[in-house]
Each structure stands twice: as C-alpha cells, then as structure tokens.
Structure 1
Amino acid sequence: MPSRATKRSMLAFLLAMIVAIACMLVLSNQQDNNDIKTDTDESKETCVDSLPIDLVDDDYCDCQDGSDEPNTSACSHVLLHSETPPFGPEFNCKADDKMVSLAFVHDGVCDCCDGSDERDGLCANTCATEWERRLQTLQERLNVVQRGLKRRTEYLAGSVDKVQKLKEDFERLAEAYQSGQRAFEDLQRQAQHNPELRGQLEQSYNVLRRVQYITYIQSRVVDPSTFSDAAWKPAFVELVGECYTYTVNEKELKGGTPNVIPRKYDMVLCPFQNSYNHGEPCANGQERHTRVELLCGEQNRVVSVEEREMCQYEVRFETPAACGQAEQDVLQDEISRVKTFFKTKDVGEFAGHEEL
C-alpha cells in the first residue's frame, strides 16, 4: 500500500501534467487565432498578387476577379459584371489615349483604332489613318485661327478711327432727335385745334419713337466701356452697322422633327443693333430669347441657328474679332502632343508630315 508521501508525489505529478496540458491548449488557441488573422489578411490580397509578372497583361484571363488583365480586354466579361471593378468601368485602348466603356468591349464593333477592344484578327489597325486625320483637322483649324488673328489685327488698326466716327455720328443723331422732339411737340399743339393733323401726328410719333430707339442703341455703342482698351473689345467695332443673313428651314430649326410645316426663314443678325431678350411672345406665352455664341473665324458669318427649346434660339457667329492668341497656343500644343504621343505608340506606319 502506497505511503502518504508517495500519494502526495503522484498528486503533484498529476497537477503538473494538468497545468502543462492547459498551457499547451492556450498556446494552441493563440496559434489558431494568429492563423485566422493571417488568413483574413491574405484574403484581402487579389489573385494577381500570386501570379508571376509574365502572366500579367498577357491577354489571357487567369484570375476570376480579372485583376491580372487591367490593360487588356481579356477579362472584360468579368469586370463588366463585377459590382466593384478593380480598375474602373472603362477600357484603355492600347495604342491610343481613348477610353472605351466595358459594355463595348468584345461587342463585335471596333472602337479602338488598333482593335485592342476586340479579339485578335477582327479589327484592322486604322490608327495611322485616324491620327493623320486628327492632325489634319487640328492643322486646318489652326490655319483658320491664324488667318482670323491677322484680320483681327487689321480691325484693331482701324478701331480708334471708327470709334471716333461713331461718336460723331451719335452726336448728330442726338441733335436730330432733339429737333424731332421739338417739331413733334409743335405739331401736337397744332393738332389740338386742327383734327386733320392727327394722322400726320401719329406718323411723326412713330418716326420719333424709332429715332429714339436708334439713339439709345448708339449711346450704348459709344459708351466708353463698350470698346475699352481691354485686349478683346476694340476689334468688335468693325461689326457696328453690319448685318448678316442666314436662311434656315423650320424643319432644321426644330431639330429635324417631321411634324412641322416646311417653311424657310431669313434670320438677320445685326451686332449692336438687335435686342436678344424680351422678344415677341410665343404660343405658350414665353418671350422669344436669342443667345449668340461668338466663335473665331476668318470671316464674319452666321454658322448656324438652332431652336433648343420653344422660342429659345442659339446663333453661332464666326468673326475674326473673336480670335485670340490663347486658342492658337492650345492648338499648337495639341498638335505637338499628338505627334509626340503617336511616336511612342505602335500604331503602324505614320508619315508625320512636317507641315503638320
């Protein structure tokens, strides 16, 4: 029979074993928690993080999330239906700076000039032709602006003399209006005693009202703030007293809608003479209103007239007076950018003419 000392030794051994097992369980739980944390962190990584670099952007979709093909269309079917596409909802054409919606990738239509938005062999590489055309369009616009700037310089050269003449014309017009006002008042007094003069009085009144309106318009024209020394204003004095006619058919004016009577209108634009607000009421009671957009051009002409809303017109008018150095600089910078960009891309044979 074991002695009391032996029993105590066995009990101490069992307690030590229990403590050791408990410590092992605690350490095991801690290790499991650490493993869980690591798994969570790893779950945040995308598929592309585990791929070798030569499988990224190789035009083959290796990852289910499409993360390995950010710059090709290989995974567009994945990204299009993803709630949070990792690289945005657009596809960047390989040989161009053009962005194409993923909805148009692999749809059978060649949106990129190099055809990178469709499967190989479907699209011809038209980049060289398109960029040549783009450069040609930019150069043609630059030529127009440069010719417009030259004419604008001529306008500026004669602006001082023309403004002075306008002031002299206004003084004569103001004197004529005052004389007409006095003559009308005399006729008004005579008509009180002679009813036969009432017809002449009414006619004189209409003429006087017209002269009064012209005098008011001219007073605005010769106001110092109208053609001040600001860089862009004096050139517009060339347009004073001029009118420009533009013929438009009503179907075109209404945006091509078929339910209109095919009529034509001659719309006359007279800068510094027309009133563009508070026009005659339309059928809906709204007053007619015209907005004139001034564009740089080598000649004075109405380019287009549109009725954006009922009786709300928009006139686009080209004139050398609207040309500025800023537009020329922008065009020259864009031409340089296009040439530089073109040379860095594989877009096929490109002549790159020096005159462009």
Structure 2
Amino acid sequence: MRRLFRTKSRVLLFLVGTIACLYIVLLYYSMNRLDAVNMRSLHIHKLDSDIGRMVRKAEEEAQNSYKVSLQTSTSKMIRGVLHKRLYLYQPTVNGTFECLYSKKQIPYKYLNDDYCDCDDSSDEPGTSACPSSKFYCAFQLDGARPQSIFSSRVNDGFCDCCDGSDEWKNYLLQNTNMLNVEPSSKPVLCPNRCDGIVQEVRKQKIIIMEGRKRKSEYLKEANSIKDKEFFGPEGVFYKLSLKCFTAQIIAYEYKICPFKECTQQKNFDPPIILGTHTKWEKMKPGDYILKMTGGDSKLCPDQKERLTRIIFQCGIEDKINSIEENVCEYNIKFNSPAAC
C-alpha cells in the first residue's frame, strides 16, 4: 500500500509540475506577443505622424512657392478671376500668357486689355470683350458656390455683383475727379450689398442647426410605421402626413395635406383638388420634392389634370412658405425640420 501511495504521489507531482511549466511558457509567449503588438502600434502611430508632418510640410512648401510666384510674376490681382485659379493667369517663363484650353500663347500685356485674343475667350476674364466667358465677383463666400456673371454684363451700367466689382470702370471714373464727364455718361454707384448676404447666410446656418436638433422628433415619430421609405429617408416626413396646413393667397384658401391631398377653394365654392396620388420626384439631402398628381382637370388646357409639387426646405417649424401656380401646376415651398 505504501508503494502504491508513493507512486500516485509522484505521478501527481509530475502532472502538477508539467502544468506549471506549460503555464509559465504560455505566459511568456503572451507577454512577448503583447510587446510586439504594442511596438507595432507605436510604429504605426509614429508612421502616421511622420506622414502627417510630410503632408503638412508639402502643403506649406506649395503655399510658399505659390506666394513667391505671385510676388515675382505680378504684384496685382487679375480682375474677374477666382483667387484659387490665379495661378492659371501667371506669365509663362517666356513672359507670355497661355490660353487655358487652346494653349495658344499671346503677349502677357494682352491679358484683360479689352480685346479677345484667345480662341477659347480665356484672356479676358475681367472685361466684356469675350461675351461667352465668365466674370467672377471679387467678393466670394467661403464654402459657397462661386458667384459669377456672364462677361457681357461687365461695365453695362447694372450692378450684378454684391460688391459692384463688375462695374469696375465706373468705379475708376468716380475716383479720378474727371470733371469733363458728360451728364449722360455719369458713372453708376454700386451700393455694397455683401453684408446683407453674409447676414442672410449666417441666419440660414442658425436655422439649419436648430432644425437638425428638432429633426430627431420626426425620426422618433416614424419608429412605429412599417413603410418608412414612402415617407422619405427613415420615414422622416411621416409626421407631416398626420396634419393639414392652410394658406390664404388673395381670394383662395389652400389646404395642403402632405401624402394625402391638396385643395384650393375660393370663398364658398366647392374645393378644387390639386393632387391626391403621391410620388417622390426627388429625394436626396437638400433636395426633397413630393409630387402629388390626379387633381381636377376642370378649366385646364387639354383637360390636363392638376398636379402639385411640395418642395421641402429646411426650417425650424412646419409651415407653407410660398405657393406659385403655372397653368394648373402648383409649386409649394414648405419649411420643416424634417428637411434639415
């Protein structure tokens, strides 16, 4: 019995020792793997940082090079050209101007000299000599679509740009004390309307921010419905289908029930149906148009059925903004947080 007990004890001790050794080996292997992962993570982080520094350095060098080229090639801005496109209007190494598309080379002094030399009309961005080209206003809003006019409107006596930069010839006349200017050719003074535009843009941004906050209520309202796509992305316009909205335009009262029915009524006459069948004409961020067809055809040319387009725009409350009619077609601009 003692021999058997000793044998079992030895086997048990051997197993315990083996397990302990395996645990130590496994622990050592895990620690090495963890160190490798950490080292790799540090290496990747360092690599990302190095790449970021290289990109920033390249951008700074490009900007500095662009500034130097502007200073060395010309000391003035090119009238009618966007700032980001000025590099296209710098003189070549031969001191010429290369037409943007035809690649024809002309003397640099011909640029904006009020005579169209390039076949592609690119040498007169600031005058009306090439009427098929565009003139970009000096004032531009950051992040907005560039504001431009047809070159044929430059110096035509009408202020198209909010800063009046398109009437630059008149501006020069006003600042040269020309006493012999005929009364019929007195320069036009363009008031600066840019501040008003900036204020309007800021106001619109505030509306968008507030509208997006309220949009969550519309998404929550749509959680209980199954056919969400019928009511726009994630059913965001479903809440509007639960109400009707009215507007009084002269003698007509309009009743707009999105996704259901639109009507027009004059005094105590029977209401005229403007649309009942719903279909999305456009459905993408910033461009939501709901088309409602199947309206009454009475008094419409060729018995054409009336139809209504509800153009949803971002707003902080649900309301009809405007209604326009054009031969039995009705365009309704409708403000709602759902469109933000």
TM-score calculated relative to the size of structure 1? 0.43
**Larger strand fraction of residues:** 2
For the pair shown, the structure with the greater C-alpha radius of gyration is 1
**Larger helix fraction of residues:** 1
TM-score calculated relative to the size of structure 2? 0.45
